């Protein structure tokens, strides 16, 4: 157990999901609505993920969507959770995020991942350098160079971008990224909402191997979890049937859009057990149950920040889930 004395910081991860019967335009509208809602509630940051070739996820042009959300809000930090760096040239990323940080000063975060954010066939269509994934750390350092004022006399420069304070985060779902984040002295965000197995090992590796840098003097860990909160445990369990069907489709290869909840348990015990392995860190229930599970997670991990994603079909119910969380933790 790890004791925690600091108040927990909460942030939001959004995939711009396209619910069944809705369009990408609906998803973008919901993303902006959720960002405004969580900004008012006191959440620290609002990140958007990069995914490709998925009918259920509209956050493909992540940088464009970040700009859209940032333009609708005023104080919440907006960023990427993440940009899949091997899909992009570091110079392009530096210019894009330099532009965002110029338009929205002191509000832009740059989270970087090394996974493709899609299937292998689509990854090949995205990447002209298929070896880029093997040089993740080197590409991060190239990106840092473009942001540095020391690059002003270089033959290749990022304008805008050069000299701007744009926090870089390393994202991961395995231990490989923990070593990269530790060696570069950067904050670390772990995708425990869908890849819980290596969370503890990754955090331990990151903390034990961390090297202070100009960006960060001591380790900083953020973990992402699924939270579905409602007034009662039973209401939340019904809302979670949408989430269960979504993830079961991922496990079986039968992907589908987020669909309306059902009032009956549609999974047998073996399916439920398999799903639990993938969604271990999913806190579903009324306020008391959700808070108890969050506190247990904090005790075990000692994370500095929790990023929350709430795959709930009905948008108003999704907003309300975040309101419950804010009532538990963010209102004095």
**How confident is the model at residue 188, as a pLDDT?**
98
In whole angstroms, give the CA distance from residue 186 to residue 224: 17
**How confident is the model at residue 14, as a pLDDT?**
97
For the ranges 67-76, 245-254, 283-292, which has the lowest average pLDDT? 245-254
**How confident is the model at residue 178, as a pLDDT?**
97
Q: Is the Cβ–Cβ distance between 173 and 190 less than 8 Å?
A: yes
The helices-and-strands tally (H runs, E runs) of the chain is 11, 9
3-state secondary structure (DSSP) of residue 282: strand
**How confident is the model at residue 132, as a pLDDT?**
66
Paired sense of beta strands 108-113 and 188-190, if any = unpaired
Which stretch of DSSP H or E encloses residue 55? none
In whole angstroms, give the CA distance from residue 237 to residue 218: 39
User: What sign results for the dihedral spanned by CA atoms 282, 286, 291, 292?
Assistant: negative
Paired sense of beta strands 282-285 and 305-309, if any = unpaired
Q: Is the pLDDT of residue 113 over 70?
A: yes
For the ranges 102-111, 197-206, 212-221, 243-252, which has the lowest average pLDDT? 243-252
**How confident is the model at residue 249, as a pLDDT?**
72
Over residues 44-69, mean pLDDT: 93
**How confident is the model at residue 246, as a pLDDT?**
82
* pLDDT > 90: percent of the chain: 77
In whole angstroms, give the CA distance from residue 68 to residue 295: 34
The pLDDT tens digits for 118-172 are 566 766 666 656 676 788 999 999 999 999 999 999 999 999 999 999 999 999 9
**How confident is the model at residue 11, as a pLDDT?**
98
Bridge partners (DSSP) listed for residue 12: 46, 308
At 53, is the pLDDT very low, low, confident or very high (cuts 50, 70, 90)?
A: confident
Q: How many CB atoms lie within 10 A of CB 235?
A: 16
3-state secondary structure (DSSP) of residue 254: coil
> How far from 43 is each of 10, 80, 270, CA to CA, in Å?
5, 16, 37
Q: Is the Cβ–Cβ distance between 311 and 227 less than 8 Å?
A: no
**How confident is the model at residue 153, as a pLDDT?**
93
Q: How many CB atoms lie within 10 A of CB 104?
A: 18
At 263, is the pLDDT very low, low, confident or very high (cuts 50, 70, 90)?
A: confident
Average pLDDT, the chain: 91
Residues with Cβ within 8 Å of 96's Cβ and at least 6 positions away in sequence, in order, are 63
**How confident is the model at residue 273, as a pLDDT?**
78
Torsion angle, CA of 245/277/110/121, rounded to 10 degrees? -70
At 117, is the pLDDT very low, low, confident or very high (cuts 50, 70, 90)?
A: low
Over residues 45-63, mean pLDDT: 91
Q: Is the Cβ–Cβ distance between 46 and 16 less than 8 Å?
A: no
**How confident is the model at residue 127, as a pLDDT?**
63
**How confident is the model at residue 13, as a pLDDT?**
98
Chain centroid, CA 329 distance in Å: 20
């Amino acid at each position: 157990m790890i004791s925690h004395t600091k108040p927990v910081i909460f942030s939001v991860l959004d995939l711009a999901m396209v619910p069944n019967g809705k369009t990408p335009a609906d998803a973008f509208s919901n993303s902006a609505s959720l960002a405004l809602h969580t900004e008012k509630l006191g959440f620290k940051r609002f990140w958007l993920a990069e995914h490709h070739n998925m009918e259920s996820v509209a956050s493909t042009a992540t940088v464009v969507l970040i700009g859209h959300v940032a333009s609708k809000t005023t104080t919440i930090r907006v960023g990427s959770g993440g940009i899949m760096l091997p899909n992009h040239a570091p110079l392009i990323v530096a210019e894009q995020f330099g532009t965002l940080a110029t338009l929205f000063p002191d509000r832009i975060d740059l989270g970087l991942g090394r996974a493709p954010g899609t299937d292998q066939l689509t990854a090949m269509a995205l990447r002209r350098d298929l070896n880029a994934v093997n040089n993740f750390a080197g590409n991060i350092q190239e990106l840092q160079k473009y942001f540095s004022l020391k690059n002003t006399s270089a033959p290749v420069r990022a304008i805008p971008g050069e000299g701007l304070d744009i926090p870089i985060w390393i994202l991961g779902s395995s231990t490989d990224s923990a070593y990269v984040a530790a060696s570069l002295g950067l904050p670390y965000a772990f995708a425990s909402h869908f890849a819980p197995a290596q969370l503890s090992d990754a955090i331990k590796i990151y903390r034990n191997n961390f090297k202070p840098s100009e960006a960060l003097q001591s380790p900083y860990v953020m973990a992402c979890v699924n939270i579905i909160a409602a007034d009662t445990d039973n209401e939340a369990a019904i809302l979670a049937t949408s989430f269960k069907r979504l993830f079961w489709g991922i496990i079986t290869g039968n992907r589908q859009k987020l669909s309306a909840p059902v009032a009956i348990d549609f999974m047998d015990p073996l399916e439920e057990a398999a799903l639990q392995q993938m969604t271990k860190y999913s806190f579903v229930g009324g306020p008391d149950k959700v808070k108890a599970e969050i506190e247990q997670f904090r005790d075990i991990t000692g994370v500095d920040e929790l990023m929350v994603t709430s795959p709930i079909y009905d948008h108003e119910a999704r907003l309300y889930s975040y309101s419950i969380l804010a009532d538990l933790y963010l209102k004095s």
